Amino acid sequence: MRSNLVRHFIRVTAMLALPLSGYAPSAPPQSTTNPQVVEGKGMYWSIDDVKKTLSAGGPVPLPRTPTYFLTVQNRLREKPQPSEVHTNRAQFYVVLDGSGVIVVGGDVPDSTQTSPTDRRGQLGQSIVGGTPYRVKPGDMLLIPKNTWHIAQPDPAGLRYVLVNLMEP
């Protein structure tokens, strides 16, 4: 099971890291539907296009399959998020822009079950015993399933690609 997760992680990371030919919009994507993954073809997103789309308040359409899905998160200090933990997926962060602290591990007493696979802490509640990582553009972080985490942006915000690696 762990080797399958590692294989998916390597595949998805390679897709994000290599500038492969295939999907390469010259303007911010207009569609909010998720593009279809086609074996044998790469997919490409320009960081400039991603930033333009996020600055305009739009979502960046990224692939979603049964084994992984990708999102771009735009965390702002004025819109804090609660800590969370997932029982069905690991998450891999690649910081695109901004900076902040991502706290990983530890525990959140008095958390709430928000779905069959997710728990969340109360807004503003700290993770007890977690490890803080100060992050900046280019940094990467892997969060295994069943691991508490929270992204705390600096005043200018924090943008990152979030790769969700689903448990088979």
Distance CA 106, CA 118 (A): 16
Ranges in the chain, pLDDT < 50 = 1-31
Amino acid identity for residue 32 in this structure = T
Q: Are 88 and 167 in contact (CB under 8 A)?
A: yes
Report helix, strand or coil for 19: coil
Domain range enclosing 130:
2-166
- Per DSSP, 27 falls in state S
Q: What is the pLDDT of residues 108-154, one digit of tens each?
A: 999 999 999 999 999 989 999 999 999 999 999 999 999 999 999 99
Cα angle: 40, vertex 42, 43; to 5 degrees: 145
Report yes or no on whether pTM surpasses 0.75: no
The helix or strand, by DSSP H or E, that contains position 87, with its residue range, turns out to be none
- Per DSSP, 146 falls in state T
Task: Supply the CATH number for residue 71's domain.
Answer: 2.60.120.10
What integer pLDDT is reported at residue 153 of this predicted model? 93
Residue showing tokens 């807004």: 123
What integer pLDDT is reported at residue 2 of this predicted model? 45
- For the chain, how many structural domains are there in total? 1
